[in-house]
Amino acid sequence: MNPKILLITLFAIVGIVIMSGCTFHFGGDSEKQKERLTDTFIKSCDSMQDQHARDVCYYSLAVDRKSASICDRIQNITGKEMCYYEVAAQTHNYSICDNIQQDQKGKDICYYTVAIVEKDKTICDNVQRQYAKDFCYYSIAVGLKDKSICDNIQEQHDKDFCYYVFVNLTKAGSICDNIQSPHIKDDCYVVAAVDAKKPSICDKIQNQNTKDGCKQRVAQ
């Protein structure tokens, strides 16, 4: 689904929920009381004649109760899958993302969101689209400041960029040696040389103009 349409749909649902008064407050009730209240609210949603209003009611209750099983009751596919995403994000339970079947992009975003919150690179393994999976690994690597996670990235350019970022983060110029792209590697050596104030690092640069510029910057 187009991200703009997804956001518009979500805001519309939230607005309808607020205006309809279909909100649920459990306060300090005990778990048994909450369960009874939840059952009561589900029955209240069930009794609504209009399907759209019923779906909005289920959505609001599911998000409030952090319950994927309540999302199951939603008939509208888009609303149901948005509900799964919200509950997965709230509960940090990536297995709920498995329920998203119609929108692979939304499913990948769901896994990505939980992976970032949990700082768990293994959750990125579930992402299907390669560029999204690589970005998930990159985000976890930077978040944990763990360069080794860059090795999981398949697209070489993105992997190189991940290494390059770590040179900026750690000031460890030796990381540049892992980079395959000549342009990114040269830029990386410039950063390493300037940070370490070592013109000898500039000698590793392949492009002559970049090499000369590197030495000039180190000499400043």
- Looking at the domain assignment, is residue 42 inside a domain? yes
Mean pLDDT within 139-156: 96
- Looking at the domain assignment, is residue 157 inside a domain? no
**Model pLDDT, residue 33:** 77
Which residues constitute the domain of residue 67?
1-102
Each residue's pLDDT tens digit, 166-176: 998 888 899 99
Count of domains in the chain? 1
Mean pLDDT within 133-144: 96
- Looking at the domain assignment, is residue 152 inside a domain? no
- Looking at the domain assignment, is residue 124 inside a domain? no
**Model pLDDT, residue 34:** 78
- Looking at the domain assignment, is residue 17 inside a domain? yes
Tell me which residue of 60, 108, 100, 56 sits closest to 77, measured CA to CA: 100
**65: which residues sit within 8 A by CB, 6+ positions away?**
24, 34, 38
- Looking at the domain assignment, is residue 28 inside a domain? yes
Query: pLDDT band at residue 27, thresholds of 50, 70 and 90?
Result: low
- Looking at the domain assignment, is residue 34 inside a domain? yes
pTM value is: 0.78
